[in-house]
Amino acid sequence: MSLITTLARLEAVDSGRAQPLATVRHRHLTDRPLVLVPLTTAGEAGAPLGALVGTDREAPRLLAVAQPRDRDLRFAFLAELAEAVLPHIEACADVVEPAERNETDPATGKKTKVEVELCLDAAQVIVPSRAGVEFVRLLGRSMRFRRTAEDNPDTPYPAPARVPLLGRWLTHYGERARVPGSSLLLASTDLLNRHWATGQSSLEDQHLGALLSWIDPPAGSSGAEAALRAELARDGEGQLLCPPAGPATDPDFDNRLLAPAIERYDRARTALASAEDGLAADARLGELSAAEREIRSLLARVMLPTWDAVWRGLDLLRQLPEGARAEDRWTRDRWSFTAHRDRVRSGEPPQPRRDDAVTAAQKLASRETAQAQLEAQEALDDPLVLAGRRLAGEAFLGTVSGVEMAYTESKRPSPRPLVTVRTDERPHLGERTKVYRSLDGKPQTAEFVRAEQETDQDGEILLVLRILDRMGRSKEPAPGSVPEPGERIAWTLFEHDQRGGPKLPDPEETPWTHGGPPGADAATRAEQPDPVTPEDLL
């Protein structure tokens, strides 16, 4: 946490309300995000308990598993989840615009432009918390290697038709969520924490209810009081008024309400199985569906507050105008979405369990680039973020006090004007340090020449910078490309655009230090479905 963020937190403590950390919204929000509130069974790895899902806040779709240990019921849940999520994804996958992509011809090594499709919009998914993002990954992993009866009629316990496909998409979303600044899969707590500083620690900020209490406390109550209520307050039955945002449930809920309800359901099922005639079976079927309804209503009761909280968080975020460069990052998300769509359509196998060395290195490099790009773009979009960089000496704001033309000493002299900037800031400039400013959205580079100390009482100094580029090809700089005296300009010491790193070798050329090329065993190592046991839960 930087000092400026700490200060915002302390102000929040003092005022009893969260304080802004951003003046614009740094993440793109689509018009119709899909909100997913999942719940899982405590102690089990791949046993979802229920979910609320949908794009309409007034009409969430409730999915529930009455007995999480029953494989058929779990598969039914996943099939239903696929029916709720995949249409949302496919609706976006079919609306495309033409776009161009640079591709290197493998034979000649030449770069050519290729006409490709780019999805006009990508399907956005919002979950309540970071644990929810992890759960999406886990669901993806548990589903993508499943086989359906269609894939292989001999598969024991075949999965419903679209479940493996949902697994591949959820895996892609979970993987994409690890790229800094991406907005395909977002956690509500992360979104809110990016834009507001609360008067509690970042650990406590992971509680969605407490976080919202700080940002938007109910009338007549301070953020701290409201947050404490969200964390601890219980009703007459000993249940939390603000249930955990999941996927984990409150142990008290499990023990006092859910476990007895599941037990009743099990009893009703056994009774139904042992029914001797049609009349008795009818009556017992009624009991069974009553028991199931009870579990559904219990789950709905603990998920609805979270559902509402996620939408409330989105409302709060929509009040902020979107940052200018957030759109650019969203375009990258659309590319990623389109690429995955193409992989699925071309019949490629599901994502492997472990990435090979080259893919892993590529992913790491692209995440590092995305991180640097995100930091630069946020600072350029938002004066409040820029203030943090200015405090750290990585950017400064100065008024141009003079411009002196100068030229390179070559046969065709190019302009290299010297700009004197007056500032009261103390950026970390060394000789020939490059600084950048944004000129019509493109970065213009200058280098630091010298500092002239001035001894006025304001503590201002004069910095001389030499402009290096973006002035056109002629001897006279293009109009508007050189700063004018009196102009107030933000200069940054960090680059605005990130260049990708060096090209990585093809997987076939993986060096021995990284495991060597995939050998003859590659085919045998091809991803097999997880072995299933008659009873895969305890």
Partner 1 sequence: MDKGVLATALGSPAPFGQSQFAFMRGNAFEAKVKADGGAELLRLLYERLGGSSAAPGPDVATPDLSAAGPEGRAARTALALREATAAGGWALLDHPMLALEVAGSPAYLEPDAVVVHPDGRWTVVEIKSFPMIDASAAAAKVGAAARQAAVYVLALERVAAVTEGAEVGHQVLLVCPKDFSNLPTASVVDVRKQRAVTRRQLTRLMRVEDIAAGLPEGTTFDPACAPEELDAAVAAVPPAYAPECLAACELAFHCRARSRAEGAVEALGRSVRGELGGLTTVAGVLAAAAGKEGDPADPTVAALRRAAALRAEALESAAGLRAEAPEAASVAGGGTPEGAAACR
Site for partner 1, residues 290 to 349, rule: CB under 8 A: 321-325, 327
DSSP letters spanning 373-403:
HHHHHHHHH-HHHHHHHHHTTSEEEEEEEEE
The phi-psi region of residue 323 (left if phi > 0; otherwise alpha if psi is between -120 and 50; otherwise beta) is beta
CB-based contacts of 350: which residues, under 8 Å, 6+ apart? Answer: 144, 145, 164, 167, 168, 171, 527
Rounded distance between C-alpha atoms, residue 1 and residue 389, angstroms: 12
Burial annotation 145-180 (CB, 10 A radius, 16+ → b, else e): bbbbeeeeeeeeebbbebbbbbbbbbbbbbbbbebe
Contact string 22-61 vs partner 1 (x = CB under 8 A): -xx----------------xxxxxx---------------
Q: Tell me how far, at minimum, the Cβ of 262 lies from partner 1, in Å.
A: 9
Q: Is 283 in the site for partner 1 (CB under 8 A)?
A: no
Contact (CB, 8 A) for 287 and 280: no
- C-alpha dist (Å) from residue 101 to 64, 107, 117, 372, 466: 43, 18, 9, 23, 35
Q: Is the dihedral of CA 489, 492, 493, 499 positive or negative?
A: negative
By beta-carbon proximity to partner 1, the closer residue of 207 and 340 is 207
DSSP letters spanning 21-56:
S-SSB-S---SSPEEEEEEE-TT-SS-EEEEEEES-
Q: Tell me how far, at minimum, the Cβ of 232 lies from partner 1, in Å.
A: 7
Q: Tell me how far, at minimum, the Cβ of 353 lies from partner 1, in Å.
A: 5
Among 30, 67, 200, 213, binds partner 1 (CB under 8 A): 200
Among 489, 493, 498, 510, binds partner 1 (CB under 8 A): 489
Among 104, 152, 201, 270, binds partner 1 (CB under 8 A): 201
Among 224, 303, 370, 419, binds partner 1 (CB under 8 A): 224
Rounded distance between C-alpha atoms, residue 222 and residue 13, angstroms: 10
- Reported as half-sphere exposure (CB side, CA atoms, 13 A), residue 450 has a value of 3
Q: Tell me how far, at minimum, the Cβ of 7 lies from partner 1, in Å.
A: 5
Q: Tell me how far, at minimum, the Cβ of 248 lies from partner 1, in Å.
A: 9
Q: Is 381 in the site for partner 1 (CB under 8 A)?
A: yes
Choose the binding region for partner 1 from 266-274, 374-382, 461-469, 498-506 (rule: CB under 8 A).
374-382
Among 366, 490, 494, 504, binds partner 1 (CB under 8 A): 490
- Scan residues 242-271 and list those touching partner 1 (CB under 8 A): 249-252, 254-255, 259
By beta-carbon proximity to partner 1, the closer residue of 3 and 95 is 3
Q: Is 202 in the site for partner 1 (CB under 8 A)?
A: yes
By beta-carbon proximity to partner 1, the closer residue of 234 and 475 is 234
Question: Of 320, 410, 354, which Cα lies nearest the Cα of 22?
Answer: 320
By beta-carbon proximity to partner 1, the closer residue of 281 and 537 is 537
The DSSP letter of residue 112 is: E
Structure tokens that stand for 230 in this block = 């969200």
By beta-carbon proximity to partner 1, the closer residue of 115 and 440 is 440
Q: Tell me how far, at minimum, the Cβ of 1 lies from partner 1, in Å.
A: 6
The H or E element containing residue 478 is none
Q: Is 76 in the site for partner 1 (CB under 8 A)?
A: no
Q: Is 528 in the site for partner 1 (CB under 8 A)?
A: no
Contact string 111-140 vs partner 1 (x = CB under 8 A): ---------------------------x--
Total residues in contact with partner 1, by rule CB under 8 A = 75
- Scan residues 391-430 and list those touching partner 1 (CB under 8 A): 391, 397
DSSP letters spanning 509-529:
G--GGGT-S--GGGTTTSPPP
Q: Tell me how far, at minimum, the Cβ of 10 lies from partner 1, in Å.
A: 5
By beta-carbon proximity to partner 1, the closer residue of 257 and 272 is 257
By beta-carbon proximity to partner 1, the closer residue of 90 and 484 is 484
Among 275, 344, 384, 468, binds partner 1 (CB under 8 A): 384
Q: Tell me how far, at minimum, the Cβ of 356 lies from partner 1, in Å.
A: 14
Choose the binding region for partner 1 from 6-14, 29-37, 329-337, 343-351 (rule: CB under 8 A).
6-14
Among 383, 477, 517, 518, binds partner 1 (CB under 8 A): 383
Centre a 10 Å sphere on the Cβ of residue 319 and count the other Cβ atoms it contains. 8
CA 288 to chain centre: 41
Per the document, the length of the chain is 538
By beta-carbon proximity to partner 1, the closer residue of 91 and 360 is 360
Q: Tell me how far, at minimum, the Cβ of 54 lies from partner 1, in Å.
A: 27
CB-based contacts of 395: which residues, under 8 Å, 6+ apart? Answer: 379, 386, 389, 427, 490, 491, 492, 493, 494
By beta-carbon proximity to partner 1, the closer residue of 439 and 446 is 439
Q: Tell me how far, at minimum, the Cβ of 268 lies from partner 1, in Å.
A: 19
Structure tokens that stand for 361 in this block = 């290195």
Among 418, 449, 451, 532, binds partner 1 (CB under 8 A): 532
Structure tokens that stand for 460 in this block = 């201002």
Q: Is the dihedral of CA 421, 422, 428, 429 positive or negative?
A: positive
Q: Tell me how far, at minimum, the Cβ of 447 lies from partner 1, in Å.
A: 18
Rounded distance between C-alpha atoms, residue 157 and residue 146, angstroms: 9
Report helix, strand or coil for 243.
coil
